[in-house]
Structure 1
Amino acid sequence: MDILTDTDALSEFCARAAEHPYVTVDTEFLRERTYYAKLCLVQLAYPGEGPESAVLVDPLAEGMSLEPMLDLFRDPGVVKVFHAARQDLEIFYVEHGVFPIPLFDTQVAAMVCGFGEQVGYETLVRKIARESLDKTSRFTDWSHRPLSKAQKTYALADVTHLRVIYEHLSAQIDQNNRRPWVEEELQVLLQPETYVVEPANAWRRIKTRTNSGKFLATVRELAEFRETYAQTRNVPRSRVFKDDALLELASTRPKSMQDLSRSRLLLREARRGEIADGILAAIEAGQSADPATYPKVDRSRDKMQVNSALADLLRVLLKAKSEDAGVASRMIATTAELDSMAAGQLDGPALKGWRAQVFGRDALRLCDGEIALTTKGSKVRIVEL
């Protein structure tokens, strides 16, 4: 079981793969100690039974260029098949500015085909490929060389079984005329904003119940500093300071190194040097910010007057519709979206695209009092009013 360690060998494999309708792809990476994922291994396979149809690619090998693989990713005639593709796509977009197109994600497809919410690869291998996976190598250090035989076997299985899963799900989707549903869901994975965090917007990730403009301005400045520092040094943002420490700093507003030393939640490394200087500057900037520039948290949801009875009816309707369609209910609408509908906010994702066809149109009719729900045996029925 060889690993490709030179560009010419990768180019030869990708040339063969380009002659097939699809290629399955997976990656192994490390991210515990860095902001950006460190790509350690790429697995590729095209249709076939022979050992030449699946390979491991070592991106850490000296002189190795992934450009032949990136060219394959750009090839519109070859479908690139992943399972739970988000983190893989982030690596390829952030490092190389490339999205594998056309894309197929078997986790998304499995939800459309009724396998439940965020179904795992191991489950699909067991149910579709009728095989089992040895997961003992899952959390090993993929940057260490040489890789063990167990690591190689585990990594290769992530793309060889994926061929069977893809062909099964693809056929089922076409049989049910749901290809547009899958493609609609995949669009969010192909948007750059899905993967790029702008430091100026990092504060939106911080959960706080406080409405104070000055407090939020300080949170904004601290979050921007932390994100910029983490990105430029390639360290996890939690290694700079964690969210609870950020909120403590925004509340206590230290003005000196001595003040910082009294923080209960700040890491020792953050109480001195560049991080400490950045914290103090961010707090000063937040405290002196023009009130016209204060950030505002969307509190519209807190003020919603939810009709709880209608929300319960919408849940019943969603459950019935998702079972009839064989689609995971959470993929159609979340609990929060149902509550919004029951509060009169009728512009959510569940009312657009394929979701409107499956659930949204009848949900609107239920909200407008045009239909009622009843049961017959174990089935929920719609009654016209």
Structure 2
Amino acid sequence: MDNESELHAFCQELTGASWIALDTEFIREKTYYPQLCLIQLATDSALACIDPLALGDLGPLEPLLLDASVTKVVHAAHQDLEILYLKTGAVPAPVFDTQVAAGLLGYGDQIGYARLVETVLGRSLEKGHARTDWSLRPLEAEQLAYAADDVRYLAEAYPIIVRELERLGRLDWLEEDFRALSDPARYEPDPEGAWQRVKGTQHLKGRQLAVLKHLAAWRERQAMRSDRPRRWILSDDVLLELARRQPTDLRGLGKVRGLEERTFKRLGEELLSLIREGTALPKEQWPVLPERRALAPEQEALVDVAMGILRHRARENEISPAAIASRRDVEAVVCGDRDSDLVHGWRARLAGDAIRGWLAGSLQIRVRDGEMELEK
């Protein structure tokens, strides 16, 4: 679908729909921002592949994406929502993420779309176009069929997943998780926080982290301004080496491993200036790495038992333990952290409350016929 009149007619056809299945195809290997190349939409009676490259703006589609009465059904929603937010300035809402929902049905943690379709519908998907360049035109019939399948089967699976969640009394458990997916703050670029995504940051400390934060924020803004991948500006390894060595002149800068000669010639003085600015920051402005919680031996023992409770509750409810919480989440509960996801919402009802009850002494663990039991 590559003209506005067709798109308008399709959106009119969807009037009154309570939900739509949504997927996107994009590329970002050579850019900072993802380039939206295709939008696929489907209900139980309609399907379309929409070409945003031909349309320019999404026109009549935007109100549909933002219509609060229409649930947008997406699998592994983050990237699709991010690109639509960057394209339209708003996050589609409300959202139903079938990957998250599948975790509550015991299908596995972070299940892929092909596996979900096989599990729910018993169908095998064609994988031949997984690495295709969606920006090239015209798209072949096989590519469009592949893209259409991403919403065709999603539209078939969604009602089944909802019915199963309702049967288990778990449909409302996901409201908080899905509401968070529509928060625009999740998709805003954050230059000041870019240092936290640099691989190897844990090996730096003190003023080195201050220099890294300054350099990483500069790199992020450069990538955003030029719409190029971060690694094309400077690699993570070079950022770390600059922060570690903190060269003060071009001679020292030239000894930094991995710094390309053309980058040295073009950006040498600017990099030295950034390093000087980073080293001049007062200590109170230095970034601090998240503390790695050091548990006492008796706390480690408590965590081991609490993990057993988590696995027990997960098995009782036929859910993957990883879909409920990680060991780090359990450590936080043992240490009395009230911000852990495990003490809020459905995760608390499923396992967190039992762990906290055991820690408080209001629940005890018994073994009967080789099986764990929790009793008041």
Pair in the same fold by TM > 0.5: yes
Establish whether residue 35 from structure 1 lines up as the match of residue 28 from structure 2. no
Residue of structure 2 aligned with 1:250, choices 243, 248, 259: 243
Change (3 A) 1:25 1:212: closer
Residue of structure 2 aligned with 1:305, choices 296, 316, 320: 296
Residue of structure 2 aligned with 1:99, choices 91, 105, 130: 91
Partner Cα distance (1:219, 1:225) in 2: 10
Residue of structure 1 aligned with 2:77, choices 81, 85, 110: 85
Give TM-score, length-normalised by structure 1: 0.92
The aligned residue for residue 369 of structure 1 is: 361
Partner Cα distance (1:40, 1:145) in 2: 10
Cα offset, 1:120, TM superposition: 0.9
Q: Which moved more, 1:236-245 or 1:140-149?
A: 236-245
Cα offset, 1:22, TM superposition: 1.4
The aligned residue for residue 10 of structure 1 is: 7
The aligned residue for residue 286 of structure 1 is: 278
Give TM-score, length-normalised by structure 2: 0.94
Partner Cα distance (1:220, 1:43) in 2: 39
Q: Which moved more, 1:13-22 or 1:109-118?
A: 13-22
Change (3 A) 1:284 1:30: same
CA RMSD of aligned residues (A): 1.9
Query: Is contact 1:221–1:286 with CA below 8 Å preserved after alignment?
Result: yes
Partner Cα distance (2:15, 2:277) in 1: 54
Local SS of the residue matching 2:312: helix
The aligned residue for residue 55 of structure 1 is: 48
Q: Which moved more, 1:36-45 or 1:174-183?
A: 174-183
Partner Cα distance (1:57, 1:217) in 2: 45
The aligned residue for residue 213 of structure 1 is: 206
Cα offset, 1:211, TM superposition: 6.5
Query: Is contact 2:22–2:40 with CA below 8 Å preserved after alignment?
Result: yes
Partner Cα distance (2:326, 2:260) in 1: 37
Query: Is contact 1:305–1:343 with CA below 8 Å preserved after alignment?
Result: no
Summarize deviations over 1:128-184 as a string: whole Å, max 9, x none. 122111101110111111112221111000010011110101111222222221111
1:328-339 pair list within 5 angstroms: 328-339=320-331
Local SS of the residue matching 1:25: strand
Query: Is contact 1:225–1:279 with CA below 8 Å preserved after alignment?
Result: no
The aligned residue for residue 258 of structure 2 is: 265
Residue of structure 2 aligned with 1:186, choices 173, 178, 188: 178
Change (3 A) 1:277 1:7: farther
Local SS of the residue matching 1:39: strand
Could you tell me the percent identity over the aligned residues? 33
Partner Cα distance (2:273, 2:322) in 1: 43
Cα offset, 1:191, TM superposition: 1.4
Which consecutive residues of structure 1, in runs of 5 or more, have no partner in the other structure?
A: none
Establish whether residue 74 from structure 1 lines up as the match of residue 71 from structure 2. no
Residue of structure 1 aligned with 2:133, choices 119, 134, 141: 141
Q: Which moved more, 1:324-333 or 1:159-168?
A: 324-333
Aligned pairs, number: 374
Query: Is contact 1:111–1:327 with CA below 8 Å preserved after alignment?
Result: yes
Partner Cα distance (1:269, 1:328) in 2: 50
